[in-house]
Amino acid sequence: MTIDDDRYIEVKVYANGIYPGKAAKIVEQGVDGVISGGKISDNAKKIFDKAGIWYRENVEPKDLESESPETEKEK
């Protein structure tokens, strides 16, 4: 498996969720995936699907905690 240093995900927390306009801007950034702390509208999901971007919505901050004791310094 090769690692592509240009690939990344977006972690966004929008109180009002992600809607088509914001989704289009995220697509332009060239991300591979989006994790949202709020809702992602159906139309925004369609934009992500068309662009091949995976997404997760309503993710709680505690769900983002690492399960590994590894840190950046140890890598």
Residue 24 belongs to domain spanning: 9-60
Q: Which of residues 42 and 7 earns the better pLDDT score? A: 42
pLDDT tens per residue across span 19-46: 999 999 999 998 888 888 889 999 999 9
Cα gap 53→57, rounded to integer Å: 13
Cα gap 55→73, rounded to integer Å: 28
Task: Say if residue 47's pLDDT is above 90.
Answer: yes
- Please indicate, yes or no, if residue 72 is contained in any of the structural domains: no
Name the domain count of the chain: 1
pTM: 0.73
Cα gap 36→17, rounded to integer Å: 8
pLDDT band at 8 (very low <50, low <70, confident <90, very high): confident
Q: Are 36 and 13 in contact (CB under 8 A)?
A: yes
- Please indicate, yes or no, if residue 71 is contained in any of the structural domains: no
